[in-house]
Structure 1
Amino acid sequence: MKRLNITLPEELYREIESIPNKSRLIAEAL
């Protein structure tokens, strides 16, 4: 898995759209 810092915003957005639950965890991490 790529690091969040290295991951592009587009990839993150796609993952968030795919899994809303993950988006919450990512938002908390950020």
Structure 2
Amino acid sequence: MDPEYAVIGRVARRIFSVAIRYMYEGNENPRD
């Protein structure tokens, strides 16, 4: 595993996590 790939994967994972969290929070209460 290349160090560059590890860094990119870490950043992508962080962004993905935030995106999922944002989506879940937005779809948690659709009637709101």
Q: Which bracket does the TM-score occupy, shorter chain normalised?
A: 0.3 to 0.5
Greater helix share, structure number: 2
TM norm structure 1: 0.40
